[in-house]
Amino acid sequence: MRYSLSSLTLVGLLACPAWGQEAPLTEPTHPCRVGVVGGSSVRFTKNCPDIQYSRPDGKPLFLDASVPDGKGPFPTAILVHGGYFVRGDKTSKIDPLENLLSSAGFAWFSLDYRLAPEFPYPAAVEDVEAGVRWLRLHAEQFNVDVNRIVLIGDGAGGYMVAKAGADEGKALGIAAVVDFYGPNDLTVIPKHWSTPPEGIPQFFGVHDYSAKSLQILQDASPVSHVTKDMPPFLFIHGTDDQTVPFECSSNMCEAMKKAGARCAVVKVTGADHGMNIWEGKTQWESWKPVMIDWLNTTLGLKPKG
């Protein structure tokens, strides 16, 4: 559930917009909650859960939507959760992002995707790309600014937005990517673990460090796919991350700069893996205004007062 009664005041109910002709990919109606985003600036949002956006091989995939109330069109973020490629869903561990984006005047859409080992690489990346295509198709219905669509992911989700942004960012019209501690350079894994850690065998099918396995990791790494035509990237990563080495972010940004693409790295000094464990610690929450400022600048937006 996106907003509990403790964090959101419900002020009414209404139906979501009609979904057009794409009946197989959407439900005809949804109960949309109208709520108030708290903080120094109060804004209404329309929140629509469990909208089907894709059905690969007959498996339905859903997203949750939150759209500011108003004329729009609104800058929009597609959120992709983490979970080692094997667990989690569209409600997982992204509350700090949702509240922050809503308060900044962004619409956001949080995706489910197919999980390993049942669905190995590249299924989940393909689902993220399908989510972008669905959003562009339904942009008018949700007051989405198609020129200001951003991908944001954490952990395994960070990997997916980085891979989708590197491979298809230009074709999909992605304006920017924010990558929280994604394993973007899989070739560093053998330096840190004697055997492939959780998620790597299940998603990539790599169980050892043979020459064949190392080639798979290199080929699947977003850092191996950088081009000058990629959208701008912001990497946010704890310097003491024990799950995804910090160099996964710094290596990719360095490769992007060499290729002529734009990027920046935000170091969360002394922090381990996971934005939720950063919450409530002033020294680890400085990424929030930095991210919003970077998005506003990159997308050509005026800060919301």
The predicted-structure confidence for 152-202, as pLDDT tens digits, reads as follows: 999 999 999 999 999 999 999 999 999 999 999 999 999 999 999 999 999
- Residues paired with 15 in a beta bridge: 31
Would residue 66 count as lying in a domain? yes
pLDDT score of 33: 56
pLDDT score of 46: 83
Would residue 4 count as lying in a domain? no
pLDDT score of 94: 77
The boundaries of the domain holding residue 271 are: 13-298
pLDDT score of 238: 98
- Residues paired with 111 in a beta bridge: 63, 80
User: Cβ–Cβ contacts within 10 Å for residue 146, how many?
Assistant: 14
Would residue 266 count as lying in a domain? yes
Would residue 8 count as lying in a domain? no
pLDDT score of 7: 35
Report yes or no: 261 and 230 within 8 Å, Cβ to Cβ.
Answer: yes
User: CATH code at 224?
Assistant: 3.40.50.1820
Would residue 6 count as lying in a domain? no
pLDDT score of 176: 99
pLDDT score of 120: 98
Would residue 41 count as lying in a domain? yes
- The parts of the chain modelled with pLDDT lower than 70 are 1-45, 305
Would residue 3 count as lying in a domain? no
pTM over 0.85: yes
pLDDT score of 38: 53
- Which amino acid, residue 20? G
Q: How far is 183 from 140, CA to CA, in rounded Å?
A: 34
pLDDT score of 304: 75
pLDDT score of 303: 85
pLDDT score of 208: 98
Number of domains in the chain: 1
Would residue 151 count as lying in a domain? yes
